[in-house]
Amino acid sequence: MALMTGEEYIESIRKLNMEIYMFGKRVENPVDDPILRPSLNSVRMTYDLAQMPEYEDIMTAVSPETGKRINRFTHIHRSTEDLIKKVKMQRLLGQQTAACFQRCVGMDAFNAEYSTTYEMDQKYGTHYFENFKNFMFYCQENDLTVDGAMTDPKGDRGLAPHAQADPDMYLHIVERRPDGIVVRGAKAHQTGIINSHEVIVMPTCSMGPDDSDYAVSFAVPVDTKGIFMVIGRQSCDTRKREGSEMDVGNAEFGGVEALVVFDNVFVPNDRIFMCGEAEYAGMLVERFAGYHRQSYGGCKVGVGDVLIGAAAVAADYNGAARASHIKDKLIEMTHLNETLYCCGIACSAEGHPTESGNYIIDLLLANVCKQNVTRFPYEIVRLAEDIAGGLMVTAPSEADFRDGKLGPYVDKYLRGVADVSTENRLRILRLIENLSLGTAAVGYRTESMHGAGSPQAQRIMISRQGNLAMKKKLAKKIAHITE
């Protein structure tokens, strides 16, 4: 089997015995839980589109090792064309779900692990590259969704991992055995892990020799003994339990985050990709972060397309579409959104091969891409809220709209243009609310700030990659300065 259908994917997740908690209780059936199911539907779209002939080129690739067609989310980038198709795929999925579709983290971890394990083996004679390739083939053959877990809780940000008052603030090795290792710690903000089959764990920062126990990377099934997940609370999440499809805004799709605890988890030797090589922790982090910052030039743009469209529809329904300032705001939203896309495409087109042969993006441009993502979606949201009007956050519930006594008054007084139903007007406003303030805001607005690293993380990388010394030389040459 190489490509699962969407329904096969759903049933494969149903078979897992994950330990998931939400609102203080264990979730026995996450697949059908009304709060969690929309996030599963988003991942399903990565399988459904891959089955459609019109999307085959963008959603799938042919593995150069096996010659089989595989889902692009399990593919290793072999050219700048692959990097560009990745961004286009992410924009398409953002357009189709208006939410986080959750497989990007695993795809980016795949490509960072591929080159880093290769280079570690070249120096140390280890077998991490072979371990990773075997894991990769397994995921490709079975079309698995893989979560990438990098972000540790970190505790005191001013202290190195080994210097923390509580050693578990960074995931670390607590026991080395002949057949593997035992790890303990946690990973925070884990996007889509409850909808994944496997999880790749990576270190979260550069490390020194004293941090060798923390320089660890591996993959295990998400239902491995000792792993449990605590679902992150999102704004408006319990609306999904109220039975109001309209009030949710985007009832079919969504995202999910979790705190993932690793409570003395055993990892067999053949699933280990780093085990104490602290000097390579920074390389793995930098490469993963670069790939993931590239990703935001695709996924956030696709969701932005939906938000821009929703704002334009709201303007139509409000009777304001012809106003010059509304047109100008929609132009500005489009300009900002396409600028993000330009950055995603640019860092892909400027990619280059690593020693292992897989392609990495231009790291400077990838970080510029993500730096823009920390800003532009906020302005796009602001303009969407401006166009939508205050009714976006003051409208009565669907229950009031359906009520025999109240409904006629809500319908009468909340209508916009005469030839558009009040229900349709409320539906588009709820979608804007969802993207701006509700559960989808985690996958668009707030995640634009902190996903793939906070703004300062990109600025540090821009400083490192900006080659200021070369630019000084250019200026001195033009100015005929001799020193």
Which residues form the catalytic set? 100, 104, 191, 257, 292, 296, 299, 447
Cα–Cα distances in angstroms (integers) from residue 247 to residues 219, 272, 352, in the given order? 39, 45, 46
Sign of CA dihedral 376, 382, 383, 385: positive
Query: Is 334 within any annotated ligand binding site?
Result: no
Total count of residues recorded for the chain: 483
Q: Which amino acid is at 73?
A: F
Judge contact between 199 and 149, C-beta under 8 A.
Answer: yes
How far apart are alpha carbons 188 and 172 in whole angstroms? 15
Name the burial class of residue 258, with classes exposed (0-12), middle (13-18) and buried (19+) by CB atoms within 10 angstroms of its CB. Answer: buried
The Cβ of residue 70 has, within 10 Å, a number of other Cβ atoms equal to 23
Judge contact between 240 and 248, C-beta under 8 A.
Answer: yes
Q: Which amino acid is at 436?
A: S
Treating both helix axes as pointing N-terminal to C-terminal, what angle do 422-436 and 376-388 enclose, rounded to 10 degrees? Answer: 160
How far apart are alpha carbons 219 and 200 in whole angstroms? 4
Judge contact between 222 and 147, C-beta under 8 A.
Answer: yes
User: Long-range contacts for 372-375 (Cβ within 8 Å, ≥24 apart)?
Assistant: 372/339, 372/340, 372/343, 373/293, 373/296, 373/297, 373/300, 373/340, 373/448, 374/448, 374/449, 374/454, 374/455, 374/458
**According to the 3-state scheme, what is the secondary structure of 404-440?**
CCCHHHHHHHCCCCCCCCHHHHHHHHHHHHHHHCCHH
Residues sharing a CB contact under 8 Å with residue 371, sequence separation 6 or more, in sequence order: 455, 458, 459, 462
| Residue 405: φ, ψ to 5° | -85, -50
- How many angstroms from the chain centroid is the CA of residue 291? 11
Q: Which residues are annotated as part of the binding site?
A: 191
